[in-house]
Chain A
C-alpha cells in the first residue's frame, strides 16, 4: 500500500476544488440517488440489511471455524489454499506459481485486496505483464494513477481524458465518444483475455459449506478472468467468508442495491473448484490465497465490526467529507468513511492517525451501510487510540479542553470565562457578525462568518425577568 508522508489536511487542501474532487462528488451524488431509489423500490431491503449484519458479525465471531471449513472444502473441490500472513507472503506465493508454470501474461479483475498489497507493482517488477481488465482500472493503470472510488475507480476521468490516454497508449485515433472508447477497450482486452496464462480475481464472498467463491462484476471481466486462462488465482481477505449458500444469497441481495442501486449486479459468478471432468471450459487450476495482513489485528481490537464491510461504496457516496475532497485525499486505496477506519485498523495508526479525524461524525455512512456498521463509533475508537498514543493531529485540542474544564467547573471561573468571551465577541464582531477569528480559531471563519453573541447575555435577561 502506498504510504504518503503528507497529512490528510494537506492532501485535502490540494484536492478541494480539483477536477478529481468535483467528478467524485458528481458520481457519488448520483450513486447515492440510485441506492435510495432501490431502497424505496424494495420493501424488504431494511429487513435484509438486518439479516446481512447478523450473518457478518456472527461469522466474524467464529471466523477461525468458518475459515477451516472453507479451506477444507476448497481442497475437496480440487483447489489449492494458501494462507498468507501479509502481502509479502501472498505475493511470494503468486510469484512462485508464476515461475513454476512459466507464466508471461496475467489478467486481473478489479480487487481492492490486491491493490492493498500492491500486487501489480510487485509482479511487474519481476518481469510479468499484468493487465487490469475492469474498464475503470484499465484506464487508471494506463494513466499510472490510483483509483479514487471503491466501485468506480476512474470516476475522476472525463471521456476526453480517456480518449487522449487511449490515443497515446494504444495508438488509436482520438475520440471522446464513450461508446467508441468502450469498443476500443473491448477489442484490445479481448485478445489479451483469450491468450493470458493466469487470471487473478478478488473474492466478494467465500462460502464455507461449499468452498465456493463468488466474484461480482457488471462488465463480465470477472467471469473472463476466472474462465479463460488455464490458472485462476483468487485473492481473498480472510473476513470475506460466509457460512452457507443462503447467507451468500442474503449478501448479494443487499450488495448491489447499496452500491449502484441495481437489484443484482449483472454477473454474480460462483466458482466451486477448478474445471471438472467433462467440463468443456474453465481453468484447470484454482488457487485461493487467504490474506490476513492486519485483519486479525483489527478483529482483536475495538474495530472488529469494520471487518463486516462488503465494499459496496455506499458510505463514500453519502459522506460530506468524501464529496468535498474526493478519494485521492485519503492517500490510501481505501477511501471515504470506510477507508478512514479500515486503513488505520489494518495498517496501524502510524502514519494513518489523521484519517479517523477526516469525518464530521454526521452518521450518514451508518445510515446507508448494508450491514449497518457503526462507522462513527469506530472513528471515535480510533481517535481515542490516536490521542492515547500521542498521534493527535490537532495538538491544541487537549490543552484547550483542559482549560475549558477548569473554566467550566466553578461558577465564578465560568462567569469570568463568559465575560472574556463577550469581550472577545465585541472585539471581533463589531458589525454584528464575526468575520475573522485569529490563530487556531481562524478555520471557523475562513469560509463563513458567525453571528456575534447578543450584547446582553441570556443569563442576565433571564435573571432580570425572573429575578433569580
Chain B
C-alpha cells in the first residue's frame, strides 16, 4: 500500500478512536531504596546467573581460557578495552580473532562459519544497572556485536563508576545516545530458555556464562 494512503487510513481510525488525549507523564524514574550500587549490581547479577569478579581482568580471562581449553577469543579491539588488557591477554598466550565480517555475501558466510567453535568473548560495557544486573553494550568500529553473542562464555569488563541504579535512571540521562550506534543491547545474565517443560536452561543461543569484571 502507498505510504500516504496507509497513513490516511490510520489517521481516520485514530480520530474515530475514543482514547484519552492527556500528555503522557514522561519517564517515571522510580524512587528506589538507597543501596551501594556495586554491591547491588553484584547481587542482582548473581540472581540472573552471572558471575562478578573484582580481580585483575587479564588474570580472570586467562584463567577462563585455561579452563575452556582455548587459546583465542573474539573481542573488542584493544583501544576499546581498559589500557593494557589486550596486550596482557596476548602476553598470556591468547590471540584475538578478527571480528571484521566482509560485506559480500560469500565472504560473510566464510568468515562467520569460523565462529562456530568460538568459546570465549571479551568486551567492555558502557553502563550497568544495579537493580537487574544488566550491562549496556554498544556496537561500533572495533566493537563487534558477535563478541557478546556467539561465544559460550562472555566476559564483560565494566567500570564500577558506570553502574547506575536502574534502566530508568540510565535512560533519563542517556536516551539520546541510542542513535549513536546501529546496535545497543542490554544484557541481563546468560542466555536462557524455559521452553522445555518450563525448566530453566542456559546457553541455548547466546553465551552460557556471563562474567562481569569490575574495574
- Whole-angstrom distance from the CB of A412 to the nearest CB of chain B? 44
Would you call the interface of chain B mostly helix, strand, loop, or mixed? loop
Asked if B203 and A186 sit within 8 Å, CB to CB, the answer is yes
Please choose the segment from B82-90, B119-127, B140-148 that sits at the chain A interface, where 4 or more of its residues have CB less than 8 A away. B140-148
Query: Does A360 reach chain B (CB closer than 8 Å)?
Result: no
Q: Given the known A-B contacts A58-B22, A245-B176, are A280 and B141 also in contact in the complex, defined by CB atoms under 8 Å?
A: yes
Query: Does A48 reach chain B (CB closer than 8 Å)?
Result: yes
Interface residues of B in 7-28 (CB under 8 A from A): 7-14, 16-28
Query: Does A247 reach chain B (CB closer than 8 Å)?
Result: yes
Query: Does B30 reach chain A (CB closer than 8 Å)?
Result: yes
User: Which residues from chain B contact A284 at a C-beta distance below 8 Å?
Assistant: 103
User: Which residues from chain A contact B131 at a C-beta distance below 8 Å?
Assistant: 263
A181 to B194, CA, bound (A): 12
Query: Does B191 reach chain A (CB closer than 8 Å)?
Result: yes
Q: Given the known A-B contacts A51-B28, A182-B193, A272-B178, are A71 and B17 also in contact in the complex, defined by CB atoms under 8 Å?
A: no
Asked if B109 and A221 sit within 8 Å, CB to CB, the answer is no
User: Which residues from chain B contact A244 at a C-beta distance below 8 Å?
Assistant: 175
User: Which residues from chain A contact B192 at a C-beta distance below 8 Å?
Assistant: 218-219, 266
Query: Does A230 reach chain B (CB closer than 8 Å)?
Result: yes
Query: Does B39 reach chain A (CB closer than 8 Å)?
Result: no
- Whole-angstrom distance from the CB of B182 to the nearest CB of chain A? 5
Please choose the segment from B55-63, B110-118, B155-163 that sits at the chain A interface, where 4 or more of its residues have CB less than 8 A away. B110-118
A245 to B144, CA, bound (A): 23
- Whole-angstrom distance from the CB of B147 to the nearest CB of chain A? 9
Please choose the segment from A59-67, A430-438, A444-452 that sits at the chain B interface, where 4 or more of its residues have CB less than 8 A away. A59-67
Query: Does A354 reach chain B (CB closer than 8 Å)?
Result: no
Q: Which of B6, B141, B149, B197 contacts A223 (CB 8 A)?
A: B149
Mask: chain B, 188-215; 1 = CB below 8 Å from A; 0 = not: 1111111111110101111100000000
User: Which residues from chain B contact A245 at a C-beta distance below 8 Å?
Assistant: 171, 175-176, 178
A158 to B18, CA, bound (A): 45
User: Which residues from chain B contact A230 at a C-beta distance below 8 Å?
Assistant: 103, 105, 108
A47 to B32, CA, bound (A): 12
Q: Which of B31, B175, B186, B204 contacts A246 (CB 8 A)?
A: B175
User: Which residues from chain A contact B166 at a C-beta distance below 8 Å?
Assistant: 253
User: Which residues from chain A contact B115 at a C-beta distance below 8 Å?
Assistant: 194
Interface residues of B in 37-84 (CB under 8 A from A): 44, 48
User: Which residues from chain A contact B181 at a C-beta distance below 8 Å?
Assistant: 272, 276
- Whole-angstrom distance from the CB of B148 to the nearest CB of chain A? 9
Q: Given the known A-B contacts A186-B205, A270-B178, A282-B139, are A246 and B171 also in contact in the complex, defined by CB atoms under 8 Å?
A: yes
Asked if B179 and A272 sit within 8 Å, CB to CB, the answer is yes
Interface centre among A57, A194, A221, A275 (most CB of B within 10 A): A194
A61 to B2, CA, bound (A): 22
Task: Name the residue on B nearest A246 (C-beta).
Answer: B27
Mask: chain A, 133-158; 1 = CB below 8 Å from B; 0 = not: 11110010000000000001111011
Q: Given the known A-B contacts A44-B32, A134-B195, A273-B182, are A250 and B27 also in contact in the complex, defined by CB atoms under 8 Å?
A: yes
Task: Name the residue on B nearest A110 (C-beta).
Answer: B195
Query: Does B91 reach chain A (CB closer than 8 Å)?
Result: no
User: Which residues from chain A contact B6 at a C-beta distance below 8 Å?
Assistant: 83, 85, 290, 292
Q: Which of A43, A58, A210 contacts B32 (CB 8 A)?
A: A43
Asked if A264 and B167 sit within 8 Å, CB to CB, the answer is yes
Interface centre among B26, B30, B103, B195 (most CB of A within 10 A): B195
Mask: chain A, 160-203; 1 = CB below 8 Å from B; 0 = not: 00100000000000000011011001100111011101000000
Q: Given the known A-B contacts A278-B140, A280-B142, are A220 and B205 also in contact in the complex, defined by CB atoms under 8 Å?
A: yes
Asked if B30 and A47 sit within 8 Å, CB to CB, the answer is yes
User: Which residues from chain B contact A63 at a C-beta distance below 8 Å?
Assistant: 10, 13-14
Asked if B193 and A135 sit within 8 Å, CB to CB, the answer is yes
Query: Does A19 reach chain B (CB closer than 8 Å)?
Result: no
Query: Does A224 reach chain B (CB closer than 8 Å)?
Result: yes
A264 to B189, CA, bound (A): 10
User: Which residues from chain B contact A297 at a C-beta distance below 8 Å?
Assistant: 13
Asked if A44 and B206 sit within 8 Å, CB to CB, the answer is no
Task: Name the residue on B nearest A55 (C-beta).
Answer: B24
Asked if B182 and A58 sit within 8 Å, CB to CB, the answer is no
Q: Given the known A-B contacts A220-B205, A250-B168, A280-B144, are A292 and B101 also in contact in the complex, defined by CB atoms under 8 Å?
A: no
Task: Name the residue on A nearest B206 (C-beta).
Answer: A220
Asked if B205 and A270 sit within 8 Å, CB to CB, the answer is no
Query: Does A265 reach chain B (CB closer than 8 Å)?
Result: yes
Q: Given the known A-B contacts A155-B198, A265-B188, are A271 and B183 also in contact in the complex, defined by CB atoms under 8 Å?
A: yes
Name A residues whose Cβ lies closer than 8 Å to a Cβ of B. 23, 26-27, 30, 42-44, 47-48, 50-51, 54-55, 57-58, 60-64, 67-68, 71, 77, 81, 83-85, 89, 133-136, 139, 152-155, 157-159, 162, 178-179, 181-182, 185-186, 189-191, 193-195, 197, 207, 210, 212, 218-221, 223-224, 226-228, 230, 238, 243-250, 252-253, 260, 262-276, 278-282, 284, 290, 292, 296-297, 299-300, 302, 304-305
A-B residue pairs in contact (CB < 8 Å), sample of 19: A30-B198, A44-B31, A58-B21, A60-B14, A61-B14, A139-B195, A159-B196, A178-B196, A182-B193, A185-B204, A189-B205, A194-B113, A219-B193, A223-B205, A253-B166, A264-B129, A266-B190, A280-B144, A299-B17
What are the 7 A-B residue pairs with the smallest beta carbon separation, nearest first? A220-B206, A44-B30, A249-B171, A263-B132, A136-B195, A278-B141, A245-B175
Name B residues whose Cβ lies closer than 8 Å to a Cβ of A. 1-3, 6-14, 16-28, 30-32, 44, 48, 99-101, 103, 105, 108-109, 112-113, 115-116, 129, 131-134, 139-146, 149-150, 166-168, 170-172, 175-176, 178-179, 181-199, 201, 203-207
